[in-house]
Amino acid sequence: MPGKTLYDKLWEDHVVHTEEDGSSLIYIDRQLVHEVTSPQAFEGLRLTGRKPWRTDRNLAVADHNIPTTDRDKGIADPVSRLQVETLEKNCAEFGITEFNMADIRQGIVHVIGPEQGATLPGMTIVCGDSHTSTHGASGALAFGIGTSEVEHVLATQCLVQKKAKNMLIRVNGKTGPGVTAKDIVLAIIGKIGTAGGNGYTIEFAGEAIRALSMEGRMTVCNMAIEAGARAGLIGVDEVTIDYYRDRPYSPKGNDWFMAERMWQNLHSDPDAKFDKVIDIDAASIRPQVTWGTSPELVVSVDDKVPNPELEADAVKKQSMIQALKYMDLEPGQAITDIKLDKIFIGSCTNSRIEDLRAAAAVAKGKKVASSIKLAMVVPGSGLVKQQAEAEGLDKIFTEAGFEWRDPGCSMCLAMNADRLEPGERCASTSNRNFEGRQGYGGRTHLVSPEMAAAAAIAGHFVDVSTWEKEVRQ
């Protein structure tokens, strides 16, 4: 019998019941709840008179609508405020723990889960949010669900699922200077496309993945959904186990030792069979910049905006033409000639302490270019913010001319007051460059925190791997 993939192991470990056609009822160990995709789920429970199966397996936080300035004044937009208040009321009514806006533990749902040890290796984790794939970085099966499924998990602690196929992406060798987890995952999406992972769970492996911290691994798994895969996975190693030691919700005492033993088996067997295997040479990856309105429309910073006339596939060519028009770019334009209006460092992709340290190292002692209207740094959680301030990162940012904000999803999707105005161009560390994503008519270029910070200083994109040297000369 061939060995098992990590996904096979996690799946088998959670099957409660399987129908003849392979549809299975799988047990969910943790549900994260936020204000946008839960009101109708709680309403569904009320309408049917159902109670949550287990309240203790749910953890709620408001993040999408939360203001990142003047918190003491509350939420100005009445529609946003009602949604956040609705979450508070629902959690109180159904007995679910919620970190509210005044709680230091509040933050982006995918940042606080691992930070609290509320999402752990070996778990099944769901949330009404596609970036739930983030938590797969710890060897957990984590994926986004719709609101009907949020209600289903509340009511049954299970989900009806069909097993996905197994894909392995190996990033072999070492990355070069200025290349981060974000560049690795953008390069992967550029290679396999935004639909490349449809129907698969993607396991990321190889030397370059192993070399990443937990924060970096979360960045990679976060964007598995941008490659079409609901779930991304990385096998457990010492980096994983060290990360979860002593987190507030991590197992304690004898439970910890039991957990550690169990988690050590959370990797694919050497003879495991994958439906698809892709190899990528880490050394070939350069800092990445998206130029279009889909994350797959990405090039290296030293490349030029591509020419749709050279694309053979008619549907792809049409997408490229539409993207160029929306982004107001010309084929052949150098990426480093693209000038920015706003800079956003934050989101569930890149708002963890390591991301802020990396951006601060680039910004230290420099000034944001006068042509930049706004450069903002939004930490992923109250605790990330506190840690960054203890390290003096906030001072580095504010002295350079960045705004230092309170935690939340912010301008990743602009549900709060942070947004682009029509025509504005932004270097963003978030995960989606769709039309209107960061504000009606706004134009988004996805990059790493280092690339975003450097673009803020220069006013246009620069290659971080060589730029530092140029500035010193």
69-77 long-range contacts, CB within 8 A, separation 24+ = 69/405, 69/406, 69/417, 71/101, 71/102, 71/406, 75/416, 76/417, 77/416, 77/417
Number of Cβ within 10 Å of residue 332's Cβ equals 9
Q: Are strands 15-18 and 24-27 parallel, antiparallel or unpaired?
A: antiparallel
Q: How far is the CB of 6 from other proteins (least distance, A)?
A: 17
Q: Closer CB to other proteins, residue 242 or residue 337?
A: 242
Q: How far is the CB of 415 from other proteins (least distance, A)?
A: 5
Which tokens hold the place of 348? 């569930």
Q: Closer CB to other proteins, residue 312 or residue 390?
A: 312
Q: How far is the CB of 69 from other proteins (least distance, A)?
A: 19
Q: How far is the CB of 384 from other proteins (least distance, A)?
A: 23
Q: Closer CB to other proteins, residue 218 or residue 358?
A: 218
Q: How far is the CB of 469 from other proteins (least distance, A)?
A: 38
Q: 382-390 vs 393-400: helix axis angle to the nearest 10?
A: 80
| Element holding 30 (H helix, E strand) | strand 30-33
Q: How far is the CB of 294 from other proteins (least distance, A)?
A: 5
Residue 199 vs residues 6, 19, 161, 175, 295: alpha-carbon distances, Å:
16, 19, 12, 29, 18
Q: Closer CB to other proteins, residue 80 or residue 350?
A: 80
Q: Closer CB to other proteins, residue 47 or residue 104?
A: 47
Q: Closer CB to other proteins, residue 24 or residue 351?
A: 24
Instruction: Determine the 3-state secondary structure of 438 from DSSP.
Output: coil
**Residue 261 φ then ψ, to 5°:** -65, -45
Give the ranges where 177-310 is alpha helix by DSSP (H): 181-192, 207-210, 214-222, 238-244, 253-263
Q: Are 233 and 141 in contact (CB under 8 A)?
A: yes
- Cα 215 to its chain centre, rounded Å, is 10
Euclidean distance between CA atoms 232 and 9, whole angstroms: 14
Q: Closer CB to other proteins, residue 388 or residue 415?
A: 415
Q: Closer CB to other proteins, residue 126 or residue 280?
A: 126
Q: Are 392 and 399 in contact (CB under 8 A)?
A: no
Q: How far is the CB of 22 from other proteins (least distance, A)?
A: 8
Which tokens hold the place of 45? 């429970």
Q: Closer CB to other proteins, residue 258 or residue 334?
A: 258
Which tokens hold the place of 166? 């197994």
Q: How far is the CB of 146 from other proteins (least distance, A)?
A: 4
Q: Closer CB to other proteins, residue 16 or residue 277?
A: 16
Best CA proximity match to 34, nearest among 71, 87, 74, 78: 87
DSSP letters of 275-339?
SEEEEEEGGG---EEE-SSSTTSEEETTSB---GGG---HHHHHHHHHHHHHHT--TT-BGGG-B
Q: How far is the CB of 229 from other proteins (least distance, A)?
A: 8
Q: How far is the CB of 268 from other proteins (least distance, A)?
A: 20
The residue type at 366 = K
Which tokens hold the place of 276? 């698809």
Q: Closer CB to other proteins, residue 248 or residue 392?
A: 248
Q: Closer CB to other proteins, residue 191 or residue 395?
A: 191
- Cα 378 to its chain centre, rounded Å, is 14
Q: How far is the CB of 72 from other proteins (least distance, A)?
A: 22
DSSP letters of 361-388?
HHHTT----TT-SEEEE--SBHHHHHHH
Q: How far is the CB of 134 from other proteins (least distance, A)?
A: 13
